[in-house]
Amino acid sequence: MTSLTLRRPDDWHLHLRDGAMLRAVLPETARHFARAIIMPNLVPPVVTAAQAAEYRDRIMAAKPDNSKFQPLMTLYLTEDTDVRDLRAAAEIGLITAVKLYPAGATTNSASGVKDMTKVKRVLDNMAQIGLPLCVHGEVTDPDVDIFDREAVFIDTVLDPIRRDIPGLRVVMEHITTRQGADYARDGGPDLAATITTHHLVINRNHILAGGIKPHYYCLPVAKREEHRLALRKAATSGDPTYFLGTDSAPHTDANKLLPCGCAGCFTATNTLSILAEVFEQENALNQLEKFASLNGPTFYKLPVNEDTITLTKGDPVAYPDQIATEDGPVTVFDPQMLLHWQVSSSS
Ligand code: DOR
Ligand code: ZN
């Protein structure tokens, strides 16, 4: 196969940031994707409907001319989230989901949730109106090994919440383990999982063996090879449980290359080329449309996109090592393999 036409994909987990960074990274996603779920972990976080509306306006203003890209906004769940504000935002279609960051789990998560009992009322309301909860699924207990934090979260936080609040619709975001893939698959129609592009490509050796590679450091951190293989199997299975959420998370090189560098891989620029390569390696190019374009809208109860993109296979694809921003360069994720597929047209 040398050409593949898909319904236009969506990105169900994306960091666009704000200001100069937003202006620099938005075109990279808007070029190929129709919609994206926009993460609310700005400084300060997007916690109210008014803040979500203002952030959406800034994204729309930063969009390239003629782009039809549509940001799907989220609210950042805190122990003080106002149920009425949240319900009103959902009713008018301003927000598509709510994001749970356990406090301290990742970048700008300090305002996240420390005590899940304090958000029970909000979650009950979300279950009533069918508003999905996007979950950063890692415990923050310093005594739990960082490579075990996802599996422990499933057992000690996620499963109890789902038993306590039947009908709560949950997206396990950026799963990194076989346990995460299995739990999502077995969780019924109200549970789904996103998988990033980079977790299909790297395992923890890529970060740590032969010298430390800050550009491969993200959260949840990449795990052992057996988990990467489980994620590849899940993503390419066609199972409606799984869909693409790139978690493309730009940080300037100055902020990555520090004694205590930021977590995040910036994959917006070459994500579709990488995915096509991975799916071809798995003999599953025919499942790419489900993963990137069909399963996400089905879970979110949104229409699939009517227009298409075409990927063409040819000589190795050239893409920039970095993209320039007014704050300094952002390094594009290096998949350490030649990429042969590129988006050649869209309609
Ligand atoms: O690697 C990550 N980067 N993981 C997250 O959960 C947050 C993100 C960011 O905002 O940079
Ligand atoms: Zn993220």
Atom number in ligand 1 closest to CA 41: 10
Q: Domain holding 30: CATH number? A: 3.20.20.140
Q: Quick check: pTM over 0.85?
A: yes
The question of whether 159 is a catalytic residue gets the answer no
User: Catalytic: which of 10, 11, 239, 247?
Assistant: 247
Confidence tier at 252 by pLDDT (50, 70, 90): very high
Range 262-287 average pLDDT: 98
Q: What is the pLDDT of residues 10-20, one digit of tens each?
A: 999 999 999 99
Count of domains for the chain:
1
Contact 193, 174 (CB under 8 A): no
Residue 144 pLDDT greater than 90, yes or no: yes
Contact 313, 1 (CB under 8 A): yes
325 CB near ligand 1 (under 6 Å): no
Is 63 strand, coil or helix?
coil
User: 48: CA distance to ligand 2 center in Å?
Assistant: 19
Nearest alpha-carbon partner for 122 in 172, 166, 85: 85
Q: CA 101, CA 40: separation in Å to the nearest integer?
A: 10
Residue 270 pLDDT greater than 90, yes or no: yes
pLDDT at site 109: 84
CA distances from 171 to 40, 129, 289 (A): 15, 16, 19
pLDDT at site 346: 81
User: 39: CA distance to ligand 2 center in Å?
Assistant: 7
Atom number in ligand 1 closest to CA 15: 10
Domain with 216, as residue range(s), is 3-346
pLDDT at site 345: 81
Q: What is the pLDDT of residues 23-58, one digit of tens each?
A: 999 999 999 999 999 999 999 999 999 999 999 999
pLDDT at site 33: 98
Q: What is the pLDDT of residues 90-125, one digit of tens each?
A: 999 999 999 999 998 777 888 899 999 999 999 999
Q: CA 42, CA 19: separation in Å to the nearest integer?
A: 11
User: 180: CA distance to ligand 2 center in Å?
Assistant: 16
